[in-house]
Amino acid sequence: MKLTGSDIFIECLRKEKVEVLFGYPGGVVIPIFDKLYDAKDIRFVLTRHEQGAAHAADGYARATGKTGVCLATSGPGATNLVTGIATAYMDSIPMVAFTGQVPMSLIGTDAFQEADITGITRPITKHNFLISDTSKMVDIISEAFYIASTGRPGPVLVDLPKDVSTGMIDFEWPEKPSIPKGYKVVKYADPSVIKNAADAIKASKKPYIYTGGGIIISGAGKELVTFAERINAPVTTTLMGLGGFPGSHPLWVGMPGMHGTYTANMAFTDCDLVIAIGARFDDRVTGKIEGFAPNAKIIHIDTDPAAIAKNVKVDIAVVGDAKAILEQLLEVVKKRDRNGWNDYIDEMKTSHPVTYDKKSGTIKPQYVVEQIYEATKGDAIITTEVGQNQMWASLFYTYDKPRRFISSGGLGTMGYGFPAAIGAQMGKPDAIVFDIAGDGSIQMNIQEMATAVEQKLPVNIAILNNKFLGMVRQWQELFYGKRYSSTNIELQPDFVKLAEAYGAHGIRVDKPENVRSAIEEAISIKGPVILDFIVDREENVWPMVAPGAALSEVMEGLF
Amino acid sequence: MRHIISVIVENKFGVLARVSGLFSSRGYNIDSLTVGETNDPEVSRMTIVVKGDDSILDQVMKQLNKLVDVIEVVDLPREQSVRRELCLIKVNCNSGTRTEILEIANVFRAKTIHIGHTSLIIQITGTEEKINGFINLMEPFKILEVARTGVAAMQRESKEQ
């Protein structure tokens, strides 16, 4: 059968069961868009900026566990994907990004809309490909999806020169999909390693379980609960791991790190064993390395060998899939009874709750998040932007299930939350989706309002509007003598009118008593809604561990 | 501490950039890097000399292993491997110094591959130490140019044997 590269591209998407594709057309990808025009089984979502397409594919992947897919043209289309690809890379999100490229014969000539996108994205992709010949398309695309979704997932970029997508070849499906030669994924660990870990757990009087996004990626939530209950160890989940262990479980102590709970941070300082599962000891979690878990042995379970012993010294390294390793551990680990350690942790949780000033009479951002939690019964998909809004969304909403909290953890990308919410809503059409946003971040990808309206997505944006770039302002207040350099953004659009200009709904809320009813009204509206909550301008995120300080130096707000 | 790492890679477009990019983006220093096809034209071998303590070496090896185009990574300990480098040296000479230079070259089993009126090109092969020693002895004659290949290395016994 004679097919063009673009026909084969569409067939490859079908083979990979791609239901949704986010993207933006341009010169060299017109042949592909011409085929998409007829491919009614693949829903194409036209974003209004390529960055929005990358974040939407990422949000779709995080909400569903499937691989997100985006498509952009060469040159500026491709470079506009870069922030989205880097965001997915830092958080290990399965994504395949397709970019158009100038014809092979023009590569390297500084042709119109040419950019060396495989060169540019090399450090921010798990792998990337330039397809140099139409005959290689099937193998490369199947390898791209395989690499993106297995092991420690990540974005893979595939660059498609125009002559490759227009080239015509005799086409036949290969007998089996191509798998790259040097690519290895380890699932189970050697039993001797498991025994070492089990012995360390048995010997521990103060064990502490520290989990990250790996639990969610491998779907190990059930095994984690069984394991934690078996050894009666307190559990902390990182920002990426929220929902990987139920937030309402009595063993959960909250999130660790710079804006982690008092208990989660002190537990690191006091424990004698850290059992890290699918977490990478990020600097925002560990604080000053010298003060991190000073009395503890560390067991580190991770699918990526390079994540182990990268930031901290590890006593027992266990390479493998979180779920598989937990199954192995559950076969050998014996029950551990509660002891004084558990009482100490429970007492800390009671005496150091995460809280805020509830008597101010103004709208507190934390109150808005709590009310979203109550109105959605804790079952919404929450995406966040980056900054104070992100921290309040993680501290004041309880996540009992995985894939409910979607946030740019590693890269910290402002402008992520709204397009990610669009992607999440596409993947989970029946879910209630809220983007908890700041007035700064939301303006970074506000153009996607048109996408949300066009796709009739009931995405809700809750702007915690303090007319500041709040997190930077908080640092300036605490560490730079209140010199608010370039963080006052009082000049801003009327977000209600802005929503209306796009054909969406806008609701402004400036009194605490109207918060809940506005949230409920937004949920009841079928299309996108912007909720503009006018909150306390100089509210800070507490608790906080100052940059460069040890976790034991956690500061709490005074209420 | 210096380590020599042998990296077997798929002979694909961009693989050298992936490997060298990994070193630069993570702040590891490369002393030398050689690359060439093996007996299998689809596979190349890179020999990388890198400086760093054991934890850096450990990270370098793990990060290299993570690259999709990398098939195998081996740290070659000094006592279990052979290491060789080739070097071309162009050195200034005249009728008075030529014989002395050739005699030294002879002792080092270096080859003279070009003789001109005012200069000689000498090819020397061996360990880095031997080459450094030879270069040192050539200094007084005025070295005009040096081209070193970087180290190529191999394990004495293959795993298969």
User: Is B58's CB within 8 Å of A183's CB?
Assistant: no
The stretch A503-521 carries a mean pLDDT of 98
DSSP-derived 3-state class of residue A1: coil
User: Is B68's CB within 8 Å of A310's CB?
Assistant: no
Note the pLDDT tens digit of each residue in A472-490: 999 999 999 999 999 999 9
Note the pLDDT tens digit of each residue in A166-176: 999 999 899 88
pLDDT band, very low/low/confident/very high, at B159 (cuts 50, 70, 90):
low
> Which fold is adopted by the domain B2-76?
Alpha-Beta Plaits (3.30.70)
Our measurement of the distance from residue B83's CA atom to the centroid of its chain's CA atoms, rounded to an integer in Å, reads 8
Note the pLDDT tens digit of each residue in A78-124: 999 999 999 999 999 999 999 999 999 999 999 999 999 999 999 99
The stretch A318-336 carries a mean pLDDT of 98
Residue B158's pLDDT is 67
Which of A118, A119, A182 is opposite residue B69, by nearest beta carbon?
A182
Note the pLDDT tens digit of each residue in A407-460: 999 999 999 999 999 999 999 999 999 999 999 999 999 999 999 999 999 999
CATH architecture of B82-153: 2-Layer Sandwich (3.30)
Partners of residue A183 in chain B, C-beta under 8 Å? 68
Q: Residues spanned by CATH 3.30.70.260 within chain B?
A: 2-76
Q: What distance in Å separates the CA atoms of residue A219 and residue A228, rounded to the nearest whole number?
A: 16
User: Is A127's CB within 8 Å of B55's CB?
Assistant: no
Q: What are phi and psi of A73, to 5 degrees?
A: -80, 180
Residue B161 has pLDDT above 50, yes or no: no
- The answer to whether residues A467 and A535 touch, using CB atoms and an 8 Å cutoff, is no
Residue A558 has pLDDT above 90, yes or no: no
Query: Is the C-alpha dihedral spanning A379, A238, A321, A61 positive or negative?
Result: positive
User: Is B18's CB within 8 Å of A122's CB?
Assistant: yes
Residue A294 has pLDDT above 80, yes or no: yes
Residue A37 has pLDDT above 60, yes or no: yes
Note the pLDDT tens digit of each residue in A215-257: 999 999 999 999 999 999 999 999 999 999 999 999 999 999 9
Residue A116's closest chain B neighbor by CA?
A: B14
Task: Tell me the two tokens of residue A519.
Answer: 């949230």
Residue A1 has pLDDT above 90, yes or no: no
- The percent of residues in chain A predicted with pLDDT above 70, rounded, is 100
Residue A553 has pLDDT above 90, yes or no: yes
Partners of residue A132 in chain B, C-beta under 8 Å? 13
Q: Does A119 touch chain B (CB under 8 A)?
A: yes
Residue A153 has pLDDT above 80, yes or no: yes
Q: Does A327 touch chain B (CB under 8 A)?
A: no
Residue B52's pLDDT is 87
Residue B25's pLDDT is 85
Residue B157's pLDDT is 81
pLDDT band, very low/low/confident/very high, at A23 (cuts 50, 70, 90):
very high
Distances (CA, A) of A58 to A33, A63, A146, A450: 21, 9, 16, 19
Q: Which of the residues of A are catalytic?
A: 50, 112-113, 162, 471
Residue B64's closest chain A neighbor by CA?
A: A306
What angle separates helix B128-138 from helix B98-107, to the nearest 10 degrees? 160
Query: Is the C-alpha dihedral spanning A134, A136, A138, A144 positive or negative?
Result: negative
User: Is A119's CB within 8 Å of B66's CB?
Assistant: no
In the block, residue with structure tokens 């993680």: A394
Mean pLDDT, chain A, rounded, equals: 97
The stretch B2-23 carries a mean pLDDT of 93
DSSP-derived 3-state class of residue A509: strand
Residue B79's pLDDT is 87
Return the DSSP state at A281: -
Distances (CA, A) of A359 to A334, A356, A363, A394, B71: 48, 9, 10, 22, 62
Closest-CA distance, B18 to chain A, in angstroms, reads 7
- What domains lie within chain A, and their CATH numbers? 2-170 (3.40.50.970), 191-351 (3.40.50.1220), 365-546 (3.40.50.970)
Which amino acid belongs to residue A155?
P
Q: Does A305 touch chain B (CB under 8 A)?
A: yes
Residue A121's closest chain B neighbor by CA?
A: B18
Note the pLDDT tens digit of each residue in B64-96: 999 999 999 999 988 899 999 999 999 999 999
Q: Does A289 touch chain B (CB under 8 A)?
A: no
pLDDT band, very low/low/confident/very high, at A321 (cuts 50, 70, 90):
very high
- The answer to whether residues A458 and A528 touch, using CB atoms and an 8 Å cutoff, is yes
- The percent of residues in chain A predicted with pLDDT above 90, rounded, is 97
CB pairs under 8 A between A and B: 47
The stretch B148-157 carries a mean pLDDT of 92
User: Is A180's CB within 8 Å of B69's CB?
Assistant: yes
Q: Does B14 touch chain A (CB under 8 A)?
A: yes
Residue A380 has pLDDT above 80, yes or no: yes
Closest-CA distance, B71 to chain A, in angstroms, reads 4
Residue B26 has pLDDT above 70, yes or no: yes
pLDDT band, very low/low/confident/very high, at B29 (cuts 50, 70, 90):
confident
- The answer to whether residues B44 and B15 touch, using CB atoms and an 8 Å cutoff, is yes
Q: Which of A77, A90, A47 has the alpha carbon at shortest distance from A304?
A: A90
Return the DSSP state at A353: -
Helix (H) or strand (E) run with residue A390 in it: helix A388-395
Which of B9, B10, B63 is opposite residue A306, by nearest beta carbon?
B63
DSSP string, A456-471: T---EEEEEE-SB-HH
pLDDT band, very low/low/confident/very high, at A393 (cuts 50, 70, 90):
very high
User: Is B70's CB within 8 Å of A182's CB?
Assistant: yes
User: Is B65's CB within 8 Å of A147's CB?
Assistant: no
Residue A180's pLDDT is 87
Closest-CA distance, B60 to chain A, in angstroms, reads 9
Note the pLDDT tens digit of each residue in B32-66: 999 999 999 999 999 999 988 888 899 999 999 99
User: Is A122's CB within 8 Å of B21's CB?
Assistant: yes
Q: Residues spanned by CATH 3.30.70.1150 within chain B?
A: 82-153
